[in-house]
Amino acid sequence: MAFIRAYLRASTDDQNASRAREALTAFAQEKGAKVASWYVENASGTKADRTELARLIDDAQPGDVLLVEQVDRLTRLTKGDWNKLKGAIQSAGLRVVSLDLPTSHTAMTVGSGDDFTGRMLDAVNAMLLDMLAAVARKDYEDRRRRQAEGIAKAKEEGAYRGRPVDGEKHRRIMELRQQGFSIRKTADIIGCGVSTVQRAEKRAAENSINRTSA
């Protein structure tokens, strides 16, 4: 049975990267397996430099499984960056298993001695991963384009106000920081990213300056 390393990623600081944990746990159990190690982070799939993904690859041994909920959790990278990541995954001897890629599921149970089957699966899945990686990147670019067009139209109509601030979340963040919790611990307690905590602190500082100068 393969050693399973699960990778959980959310694309923004305000999304919970652990949301898919139950789905991956249940999937592994259905295959008679268990997730041995979890790697969780809030980071964009368009970023090639992701701390937890890099740590997973460094920790991996040949034959280990990199388990994800969807291929776009692993990559929304450009073709060049995806090829680099794919090369690192292959060099580590990892086999990617994604819940939305049924042909990859048998990698959970293929024995280390079944070299022929493993090589055939690797070839098929490499092709399908490339296809889904391209789809994920196109989806990202399409959404960004539509978002930019929507913002531009709203600005023309005078209706664009930017992303609203979650005042309650910022208040709770500042309470925890004032109690002496670190930025990372505060982010973990609130269930957000480090940059959200930093934005809350910046906003609080700006408000303090504005009150002083008023």
Residues annotated as catalytic (active site), given as ranges: 11
Which residues, 6 or more positions from 211, have their beta carbon under 8 angstroms from its beta carbon? none
Contact 136, 78 (CB under 8 A): no
**Whole-angstrom distance, CA of residue 125 vs CA of residue 119:** 10
Side-chain-side CA neighbours of 71 within 13 Å: the count stands at 26
Rg (CA), the chain: 21
Contact 65, 97 (CB under 8 A): yes
Task: For residue 155, give both structure tokens.
Answer: 């600005």
Tokens 């042909």, residue located: 103
| Residue 65 burial by Cβ neighbours in a 10 Å radius (0-12, 13-18, 19+) | buried
